[in-house]
Structure 1
Amino acid sequence: MPVLEQLTTVVVDCADPVALAAFYQKATGWELTHSAEDFASLSADSTGPGLAFVRVEGYQAPQWPEGNKRLHLDFTVPDLDHAVEDLLALGASKPAFQPGEGQWVVLTDPQGHPFCLIPATTATN
């Protein structure tokens, strides 16, 4: 029997938790469940994992594709081009280096964390 039952939250180090939570809230439509100067969190619903953001003094943004990146998030999207356009309008950036030969797109959030967009049709195949 496994010791760990369910992943509840992915916590992301950052410089400004409130601002980063606002970006992901707009991008995902998830509910803001907590917001304070040093911590903010989002939840899709009561069953799935949520995202939380915690202030780290001296935070340095990850560098894509190399550097101090520790993890990245993957999101499926129904329309890749539309999602990229919308996320860029919300403040994401699209780095020049794009692995995967067009199968997915790497973006970075406003505080430099990389995340990938994967077409929903590709993710299920």
Structure 2
Amino acid sequence: MIGQLRSVVIDCPDPRSLATFYSELLGLPVDDGASDDTWVVIAGSGHRLAFQAAPALRPPTWPDPAVPQQLHLDVQVEDIEAAESRVLALGARRLPGQGEGFRVYADPAGHPFCLVFVD
């Protein structure tokens, strides 16, 4: 092993706003001690996501490959209907595409993510 993963970093136009969205989605608190106007961290239970300012970001155009998704998060949920209602209320939007066990959404900055459930 060369090293250990410290953070997954997501570029976005408004780091504070997107960190708040994922804080609510994942139940990870914002770490104000590790954050400023251009970098916001949420962390807890051994997980850490960081949000970095990228004012000119072109959001992915899922499923159109003109601007690829580059990465996405899978978030496991127990009740897909309840989870969908909550992420939509937080500012996510539903994207085309789903399969057995998952549905695709975009966060408020346009990054795709999936809600994954097991029947």
Name the TM-score, length of structure 2 as normaliser. Answer: 0.88
Task: Give me the whole-angstrom Cα distance separating, in 2, the residues matched to 1:99 and 1:29.
Answer: 24
Write out the 4+ residue segments of structure 1 that deviate beyond 3 Å after TM superposition.
none
Q: Identity across aligned pairs (percent)?
A: 37
- What is the one-letter code of the residue matched to 1:25? S
Deviation track 1:36-87 (CA, whole Å, cap 9, x = no partner) reads 2111010123xx2311000013111111113231100111011111101110
Unaligned runs of 5+ in 1: none
The residue that corresponds to 2:58 in the other structure is: 60
Deviation at 1:105?
0.7
Task: Give me the whole-angstrom Cα distance separating, in 2, the residues matched to 1:90 and 1:13.
Answer: 19
**Quick check: 1:19 aligned with 2:17?**
yes
The residue that corresponds to 1:37 in the other structure is: 37
Task: Give me the whole-angstrom Cα distance separating, in 2, the residues matched to 1:114 and 1:23.
Answer: 13
Name the TM-score, length of structure 1 as normaliser. Answer: 0.84
Where does 1:1-125 land on structure 2 (aligned, <5 Å)?
2-4=1-3, 6-33=4-31, 34-45=34-45, 48-66=46-64, 67-95=67-95, 97-100=96-99, 102-119=100-117, 121=118
Q: Is the 8 A contact 2:80 2:115 kept in 1?
A: yes
| Worse overlay, 27-36 or 68-77 | 27-36
- What is the one-letter code of the residue matched to 2:26? T
Task: Give me the whole-angstrom Cα distance separating, in 2, the residues matched to 1:35 and 1:18.
Answer: 9
What is the total number of aligned residue pairs between the two structures?
A: 115
Task: Give me the whole-angstrom Cα distance separating, in 2, the residues matched to 1:7 and 1:79.
Answer: 30
